[in-house]
Amino acid sequence: MDVDAVSRQLLDGLGGRGNVLSNEACMTRLRVGVRDMSLVDLEAIGRVEGVMGVVEADTLQIVFGPGRVNRVLEAFSGLTGIARGSERMDASSLARQNKAQGKARHTGPVQAFLKRVANMFVPLLPGIIAAGLINGLANVVDHACGGALGGQWWYEGVRTMGWALFAYLPIFAGYNAAREFGGSPILGGIAGAVCVANPSMPLLGTYGGAQAILPMTGAVYNPAMGGLVAALLAGALSAGLERQVRKVMPSVIDTFATPLIVLVVGGIAIIAVLQPLGATLTQGVYAAMSFVYERLGVLGGFVLSAGFLPLVSVGMHQALTPIHVMLNDPSGPTGGINYLLPVLMMSGGGQVGAGIALFLKTGNERLRGYVRDSIAVGLLGVGEPLMYAVTLPLGRPFVTACLGAGVGGALATLFHIGTVSQGVSGLFGLLIVQPGQQLAYLVAMVAAYASGFALTWLFGVDEDRIDEVYGT
């Protein structure tokens, strides 16, 4: 692919250099901010070599796939004269930015909630993934070596890094929650610390031979009772309380008085109200998951896996991130084993099977090219190119891919497959599957491939629709 030629064609389709305000790239997409959407020719952009799809959001997102997008960004940034990640700010672009912010404030409550969830957890994912892998690998090593490495300083040091994230995760959660809700992050972090089980906590100390008893429950305080949910609520409460106090606090004493009030009042509220509330919500989440996973069995696995791709297509899958974190917590009820993730990972398998069926059956060379470019990364768990460039635009293959994924999800439930971490999918999922379950995982994934293939081959290929979307 000639990235210079591609970049010039993109710039023409975007209305020229003066219409481009920003350029950035994520794993698969070139994200471009434009001044005037009426100057953009979406059909022309869609015909540019290598473009797998175009998504209209706050920015125009042009899907290229992993690897290619960074090469295109480098050439495109040179043409626009805008450094990667920066924005050309003038009066009109500032107006556009303010308009976008105003629009964001008036989006639906569900979308706003999911965006906040993502903002709170996405910064934590690198640590959660690494710590989960450390814990899982340590379990494998201990089992294989019979605990022979126990007591070795370097080995226990590595294990400590895996332990530390989950032991103090409420602090990080409270910190990010306060920041997301417009408060001082450090106050949210302190609020989250109240949810960390540490025997050195004064509230857990022994005084006169007895521990402090809470008047609300008549029992000793249990920091971990509300779990991660309580920490998130604590961070949000801290931010909200801080904003309200600052409205009435004289500026001359605001610097020290406001944080003091937030910690004192907020601390009492967290212990008396948010911890019990967090415990109730956490128990509700686990009860719902238990009902779907254990009571509904393979039917529940089918529904979860088949319904996951539609959630991904609209960005609602971010709502599951806190659930994955709780399931991978070694101190949680599942002992750090996530039984939900393998079920959802089968959704990528259904897409791969559907893509292969389309590639072998269609005569449309443009579609075949898109599938060829997308299938390899799809096998490795990156499903965006296949979904946005192939199955979703065609409609019917998207449905058959979802149904094929459901078969894999049903088997993942039947085999009771679990993972020790998160962050990878597809065949890379073998790296995080619980030791001894790799073969079962492969069987379920191959079933998703085969089911997505068969259903798409039989019911998902409509050449008229393909020619309508991709041209003849």
Point out the residues that are catalytic. Answer: 26
Which whole-number Å values give the CA distances from 19 to 16, 35, 76, 199, in the listed order? 6, 5, 13, 59
Instruction: Give a three-class secondary structure readout of 309-338.
Output: HHHHHCCHHHHHHHHHHHHCCCCCCCCCCE
Neighbour count for residue 104 (Cβ, 10 Å): 12
Distance CA 150, CA 133 (A): 18
Yes or no: say if 72 and 6 are a contact pair by the CB < 8 Å rule: yes
CA–CA–CA angle 316, 87, 101 (5° rounding): 45
Burial class of residue 320 (count of CB atoms within 10 Å of its CB; 0-12, 13-18, 19+): middle
**How far is the C-alpha of 243 from the C-alpha of 188, rounded, in Å?**
13
Under 8 Å between Cβ of 419 and 434:
yes
Distance CA 145, CA 152 (A): 13
